[in-house]
Amino acid sequence: MTEAASRLPVSRLGGPDARTVAKIDLGLSRRYAAERRFRAYGLAAVTIAICFLLVLFGSIVSKGYTAFQQTRVTMMVDFEPSIIAPDGDRSPKAIMSGNAFRFDDLIAASLQKTLEIDPNDEDGLYDALDLLSKGSTPMLRSMIANDPSLIGTKRTVDFYATGDVDAFVKGTIRADVPESQRLIKDKHIVLIDKLKTEGALHLAFNTGLFTNGASTRPETAGVGVALVGSLYMMLVVLVLSLPLGVAGSIYLEEFAPKNRWTDVIEVNINNLAAVPSIVYGLLGLAVFINFAHLPRSASLVGGLVLTLTTLPTIIITTRAALKAVPPSIREAGLGVGASKMQTVFHHVLPLAMPGVLTGTIIGLAHALGETAPLLMIGMKAFIVEYPATPFDPATALPTQIYMWATEPERAFTERTSAAIIVLLAFLLAMNSIAIILRRAFERRW
Amino acid sequence: MGPLWLLALIAGLSFFGFILGHWKSVVLSGKGRSTLAARPGYYGAYVLIWTAMPALLILVALSIARPLLAEHTVRANLPQQVLDNPTQLSLEISGVEQVAAGLKTATPEELENIRIGVVTARSVFAGHGLPLGEDVRPYQLIAASALNLVSDGLDTAVDIAVVAALAFGLIFAFMRVKPRLRARNLVENTVLALLIAASSVAVLTTIGIVLSLLFQALQFFSMVSPINFYFGTVWDPRFAAAGSTESGQFGFLPLFWGTIYISFFAMLVAVPIGLFSAVYMAEYATSKVRSIAKPLIEVLAGIPTIVYGFFALTTVGPLIRDYVAVPLGLGTSGNNVITAGLVMGIMIIPYVSSLSDDIITAVPRSLRDGSLALGATRSETMRQVIMPAALPGVVGAVLLAMSRAIGETMIVVLAAGVAARASLNPFAEMTTITVKIVNQLTGDLEFTSPQTLVAFALGITLFVITLGLNVLALTIVRKYREQYE
Amino acid sequence: MSAVQTATPFETVRTPDPASRPIKIHAAAVKVTYGQKEALHGVSIDIAEKAVTAFIGPSGCGKSTFLRCINRMNDTIAGARVEGTITLDDRNIYDPDLDVVELRARVGMVFQKPNPFPKSIFDNVAYGPRIHGLARSKADLEEIVVTSLQRASLFNEVKDRLNEPGTGLSGGQQQRLCIARAIAVSPEVILMDEPCSALDPIATAKVEELIDELRANFTIVIVTHSMQQAARVSQRTAFFHLGHLIEEGPTDHVFTNPLEQRTQDYITGRFG
Q: What is the pLDDT of residue B485?
A: 60
Least confident of A99-103, A142-146, B457-461, C185-189: A99-103
Which residues in B390-403 are b (16+ Cβ under 10 Å) and which e?
Answer: bebbbbbbbbbbbb
Residue B384 in contact with partner chain C when CB distance is under 8 A: yes
Half-sphere exposure of A154 (CA within 13 A, CB side): 6
Least confident of A36-40, A261-265, B367-371, C216-220: A261-265
Min Cα distance C109 → chain B (Å) is 6
CATH number of B249-480: 1.10.3720.10
Min Cα distance B277 → chain C (Å) is 20
Handedness of CA B48, B52, B53, B54 (dihedral sign): positive
Write down which residue in A186, A213, A240 finishes a domain. Answer: A213
Burial class (CB in 10 A: 0-12, 13-18, 19+), B218: middle
Q: Which residues of C touch A31 (CB under 8 A)?
A: 101, 131
> Helices in B30-137 by DSSP H: which ranges?
40-76, 80-83, 86-105, 108-116, 121-127
Q: Judge: C143–A27 Cβ closer than 8 Å, yes or no.
A: no
Q: Judge: C117–B371 Cβ closer than 8 Å, yes or no.
A: yes
A237 and A293, same domain (yes or no): yes
A312 and A410, same domain (yes or no): yes
Q: Judge: A26–C148 Cβ closer than 8 Å, yes or no.
A: no
Q: Judge: A4–C89 Cβ closer than 8 Å, yes or no.
A: yes
Q: What is the complex's ipTM, to 2 decimals?
A: 0.87
Q: Which chains lie within 8 Å of chain B at 3 or more CB pairs, if any?
A: A, C
Specify whether the backbone of C133 is left (phi greater than 0), alpha (psi in -120 to 50) or beta: left
Instruction: Give the whole-angstrom CA distance, residue A402 versus residue C164.
Output: 56
Residue of higher predicted confidence among B97 and C156: C156
**pLDDT band of B242, cuts 50, 70, 90:** very low
Q: Which residues of B touch A28 (CB under 8 A)?
A: none
**pLDDT band of B351, cuts 50, 70, 90:** very high
Q: Judge: A283–B447 Cβ closer than 8 Å, yes or no.
A: no
Q: Judge: A405–B310 Cβ closer than 8 Å, yes or no.
A: yes
Q: What is the pLDDT of residue A19?
A: 40
Residues of chain A whose pLDDT is less than 50?
1-23
Domain ranges across chain B: 3-181, 249-480
Residue range of the domain that includes A302: 224-441
Instruction: Convert the pLDDT of each residue in B408-448 to its tens digit.
Output: 999 999 998 888 888 888 888 899 999 999 988 876 666 77
Q: What is the pLDDT of residue B1?
A: 59
CATH number of the domain at A283, please. Answer: 1.10.3720.10
If one counts the domains in chain A, the total is: 2
Q: What is the pLDDT of residue A46?
A: 95
CA dihedral of B401, B407, B410, B415, whole degrees rounded to 10: 80
- How far CA A124 is from CA of A19, A102, A191, A305, in Å, comes to 100, 19, 9, 54
DSSP 8-state code for residue C246: E
Least confident of B21-30, C3-12, C96-105: C3-12
Pick the residue from chain B with its C-alpha nearest to C112: B366
Q: Is the pLDDT of residue C7 over 70?
A: no
Q: Report percent pLDDT > 90 for chain B.
A: 33
Angle (CA) A317-A319-A323 rounded to 5° is 120
Q: What is the pLDDT of residue B31?
A: 60
Residue A44 in contact with partner chain C when CB distance is under 8 A: no
Give this prediction's pTM.
0.84
Instruction: Convert the pLDDT of each residue in A384-419 to its tens digit.
Output: 888 888 888 899 999 999 999 888 777 888 889 999
Half-sphere exposure of A162 (CA within 13 A, CB side): 18
Out of C131, C186, C188, name the one closest to residue A13 (CB): C186
Q: What is the pLDDT of residue A172?
A: 80
Pick the residue from chain B with its C-alpha nearest to C177: B370
Write down which residue in A213, A235, A267 finishes a domain. Answer: A213
Q: Is the pLDDT of residue B285 over 60?
A: yes
Q: Is the pLDDT of residue B111 over 80?
A: no
Residue of higher predicted confidence among B109 and A319: A319
Residue B244 in contact with partner chain C when CB distance is under 8 A: no
Residue C250 in contact with partner chain B when CB distance is under 8 A: no
Out of A46, A272, A406, name the one closest to residue B205 (CB): A272
A121 and A239, same domain (yes or no): no
3-class SS at B480?
helix
State phi, psi for C223 to the nearest 5 degrees.
-95, 130
Q: Which of B214, B227, C48, C201 is nearest to A283 (CA)?
A: B214
Q: Which residues of B touch A398 (CB under 8 A)?
A: 304, 306
Q: What is the pLDDT of residue B238?
A: 72
Instruction: Convert the pLDDT of each residue in A276-334 to its tens digit.
Output: 999 999 999 988 888 777 888 889 999 999 999 999 999 999 999 999 888 888 888 88
Q: Is the pLDDT of residue B87 over 80?
A: no
Pick the residue from chain A with its C-alpha nearest to B63: A292
The CATH number corresponding to C2-115+186-267 among 3.40.980.10, 3.40.50.300, 3.40.50.720, 3.40.50.150 equals 3.40.50.300
Q: What is the pLDDT of residue B177?
A: 83
Q: Is the pLDDT of residue B207 over 70?
A: yes
Instruction: Convert the pLDDT of each residue in B29-72 to its tens digit.
Output: 776 555 777 788 888 888 888 888 888 898 888 887 887 888 78
**pLDDT band of C232, cuts 50, 70, 90:** very high
A233 and A359, same domain (yes or no): yes
Write down which residue in A163, A181, A213 finishes a domain. Answer: A213
Q: Which chains lie within 8 Å of chain A at 3 or more CB pairs, if any?
A: B, C
| Interface residues of chain C, partner chain A, Cβ below 8 Å | 22-24, 26, 49, 89-90, 99, 101-102, 105-106, 131-134, 140, 143-144, 147-148, 151, 186-188, 216-219
Q: Which of A162, A236, A218 is nearest to A396 (CA)?
A: A236
Instruction: Give the whole-angstrom CA distance, residue B255 versus residue A174.
Output: 42
Min Cα distance A274 → chain B (Å) is 7
Instruction: Give the whole-angstrom CA distance, residue A413 versus residue A415.
Output: 5
Give the orientation angle of helix C121-132 with respect to helix C138-151, to 10 degrees.
Answer: 120
Per-residue pLDDT, averaged over B6-18, amounts to 89
- The mean of the pLDDT values for chain C is 88
CA dihedral of A197, A200, A201, A205, whole degrees rounded to 10: 140
**pLDDT band of C107, cuts 50, 70, 90:** very high
Burial class (CB in 10 A: 0-12, 13-18, 19+), B231: exposed
DSSP string spanning A145-201?
A: HH-GGGTT-EEEEEEEBPHHHHHHHHTSS-TTS-GGG-SS-HHHHHHHHHHHHHT-E
Q: Which residues of A touch B212 (CB under 8 A)?
A: 282-283, 286-287, 291
Q: Which chains lie within 8 Å of chain C at 3 or more CB pairs, if any?
A: A, B
Interface of B with A in 226-285 (CB under 8 A): 272-277, 279-281, 283-285
Pick the residue from chain B with its C-alpha nearest to C128: B374
Instruction: Give the whole-angstrom CA distance, residue C125 versus residue B142.
Output: 88
Q: What is the pLDDT of residue A406?
A: 85
Instruction: Convert the pLDDT of each residue in B121-140 to its tens digit.
Output: 777 777 776 677 677 777 77
Q: Are C253 and C267 in contact (CB under 8 A)?
A: no
Residue C195 in contact with partner chain B when CB distance is under 8 A: no
Q: What is the pLDDT of residue B401?
A: 93
Residue B366 in contact with partner chain C when CB distance is under 8 A: yes
Count of beta carbons in the 10 Å neighbourhood of residue B246? 10
